[in-house]
Structures are given as structure tokens and as C-alpha cells.
Structure 1
Amino acid sequence: MKLLLLSNSSAPGREYLDHAREVIADHLTGVSELLFVPYALADHDGYTAKVAAFMDGLGIRVRGIHTADDPRAAAGEAQAVFIGGGNSFRLLKSLQERGLTEAIAHRVTEGGAPYMGSSAGTNMACPTLRTTNDMPIVQPASFDSLGLVPFQINPHYLDPDPASAHMGETREERLAQFLEENDVPVLGLREGTWLRRTGGTLELGGIAAGARLFTAGAEAVEYAPGADLSHLLTLPARFDHRTV
């Protein structure tokens, strides 16, 4: 299985996806056409055009799955799949309504198509949606997503700021609450970081400060870019659903 899971698609002072250009080019080596899934945003055509403009620089054509007469068939034939960021609740609901969670997962796991996700698209690679940062603007049929990795990811992870006047929960506190109800590790990906899976190997990459791994009953563990996180792939494929 080939996965590239980005925490974010835009970085300060950089064009869309430019901060990860080299790793994206390497991940998509040999791909001439990319199937893009734009359902996390309302403007599907505009979003697809934005992705196409970036991929054109890599010599890769982009097809928006929303233009296909049969989206499931398009997923089943895709050379590679990219699910972009936006609202993850809207994204998952759209995938479920079109039968694409199973179709995309099968194409990636059994068909060998490289998968790329950013932000909400990275959430989709997890067993469930439950560690997203997004507002539930719509209600999906369930929180179950693609399950391409057996652990949870929190994209755009922010460290607690002692100087902040904000009185709501920090991201760390919210993930601690998640772990009170769910027995599965959560990897907090800071801005500018990504995960790359090739077969049974999982590596943390990026241009920033790395990631934090949260596990129930233990202190969070820091990982720097370049860290081998392959041990996270040995977890059961689905975790214990203590709540619905």
C-alpha cells in the first residue's frame, strides 16, 4: 500500500501544495492521471482546477471524480487517488452516499493505487472521523472512514500556548477526552508534516517540528521528521468502539 498523508495543503508564503512538492512528485512517480475527490468543499469544479494547476507542473492530468457518470467505476480504475481538505463531515457523507468509501479503500489496498490525502483527506485514511477538527455541518451515516491505517490522526495539530487567553480546551485536552472513550493511538501531525507509507513501512516527514503520539494512560511521545513509525501499522485494523 502506498499512502501520502499531509497535515495541510497550504503553508505560509507558499503556493498550494508547494511545501510538499518533492515528496508528492516522488509518491506519484509513474502516474499520468490522478483522480481527485473534491467533496470536502462546495465548489467541486474550482477545487479540481486548483489541484490540476499544481499537478500540471508535475506532468500529471487531473480528473475530478464528480464529473464521472459512475464515480465508483472511476475509483475502481484510478491510477492514483487524492482526497483534498475541507470539511471532513461533508466529505465523509459524500463518500458514503456514493459508495466510495469501499471503492476507494479497495482500489488502494487491493489494486495498489497510490493514495494521497491532505487535512480532511488524511482524516479519511483513518478508521474513523472522530479526531477531525471540523464542525459537523452535515451528518454522515456513520463515522467509519477508509481505514487505510489502523490508528487515528489529528491534522493541523496545535501545541498548547501558555500565553493564550483562550479558555476553551486545547487540542491536547480534546485528544485526551477522545482517549477516555476510544482505545486507539492518535498521531497529532503539526503543520508542514506528513506520513508516508510504503507497504509495511511508515515514515514521518516534513519541513516542520514533527508530530506527537497520544496513547491512553501514557504521556505523549514526540517524533521528529524522519522517524520510523512502522510500529503503528501493527495495531488491529479496527479499534474498540466504546461509544457510537
Structure 2
Amino acid sequence: MLWFGPKDEFLLFSTNNSIVEIVYFLTQSLVVIAIVIALLQLRSLNDQLKQNKDQMVEEHKQRRRAVSLDLLHKWNALNNNGINFVARRLVKELPVKDKKALIEGTPFSVPDDLKGLVKSVVCRDSGCGRECEECKYVFEGAAENKLTAHASIIMRQTVVTYLNLFENISSAYVNNVANKQMLKEQFAYIASGDENYEAMLNDFGIAHRLPCTSAFIDENRPPTQEGLPKTGTS
């Protein structure tokens, strides 16, 4: 049997204390290491989230630009076909009663300087392709300015196509699914009043059917026109 003297007991106590201190130090070190690793992972996660957010923002911008370019391409296609030009002339120059008849698709009369334009649109739509002084599809007589029912329907489709496309453009603008600055730059002339678009909506009585067009005009009025009644309320 071994006996421990006072000196041996002191050595055993010192050894036990050293082990406890070592274990405590190692535990604390592991905790610190774990915290550092967690912080590094958190920072990496934040960087990844920021990168993903920036990527999503850029992709959204690209989609908005693509939508804008697609809408502008469609608008230019109508320009190239002469649809927009004829529609704008009708919108500007027709009396109120004839504008309403146009929207209703009933026969109406056109000014002399528009007869050739209207005839070209109707004949092209009808697949006529003939050069003639009188066309039974367009006017009720050679000396008449009143359109036939057939021609009136075609011209209604022409103007409605024009109005609906700009409503689509305005909808993309108002709902922020297109690049607003691009659309504003391209169509500021409509809101400026140069196209008489606002008066046309009021004359036709269809502002309530084209809410985004009305909103686009109201939002992009020139400073000299601010404070005027909202489109469709005058």
C-alpha cells in the first residue's frame, strides 16, 4: 500500500489544476474559433446575398429594357406600315361626331386631304392592289367623302390598333415593367399635347377605357400644363 505525504498531495493538486486550466483554455479557444468561423460564414452569406440581389436587380433592368425595345419595335412597325400616320391624322382632324362614329364602326366622312391615305389603307387591307379612280370598298361614290361600312370598320381597326398599342406601352410604363425613362423619352410628345392625344380621348369619350394612357399623359405633362384637369375629367 502506497501512502501519500503532504508533498505528494500538493503535487497531485497542482497537476489537477493544470489539467483544468488546459481544458478551460482549449474550450475557450474552440469557442473563439467557432465564433470566428460563424462570423466568416455570416459575412460570406451576406456577400452572396448582396451579389444575388445585385444580379436580380441587373436582370430586372435587362428585362425592362427588353420589354421597352419590344414595344418600340411594335410601334415602329406600325409607323413603317403607315398605320400610325393615318390614325394620328384621323385623330387630329376628324370632327367630334365623326370620331365617335369611327369608334362605333359606323360610316363617317373624311377630309379631302385624307381620302388618298384612307383609300391606301383600306385597299391594302382588302388585298385589292389595283389602281382605280373609284373603289366600291372605300367611298360610297367617286365624289363622296363618306366611307362605306366596310371601310369604316377597317379604319376603326386601324385607329383601335394604334390606341391599344399605346395603352400597352403606357401600361408597361405605369406598372414599371419597362424602362420608364426610355418610354418617356420616346413618347413625351404625346403627353406634351403635340399629338392632341388628350383631346382625342376626351372627344372619343374613351379615356376610362384607356386608364394607363391617361395616367401616362397626366404624369408626363410639361410644366406649363401642370394643374390642368386630369385626362377624361374635362
| TM band (smaller chain) | under 0.3
**TM-score under structure 2 length normalisation:** 0.27
Structure 1 length-normalised TM: 0.26
Greater fraction helix: 2
Q: If each structure's strand is expressed as a fraction of its own residues, which one has the higher value?
A: 1
* Rg (Cα) greater in structure: 2
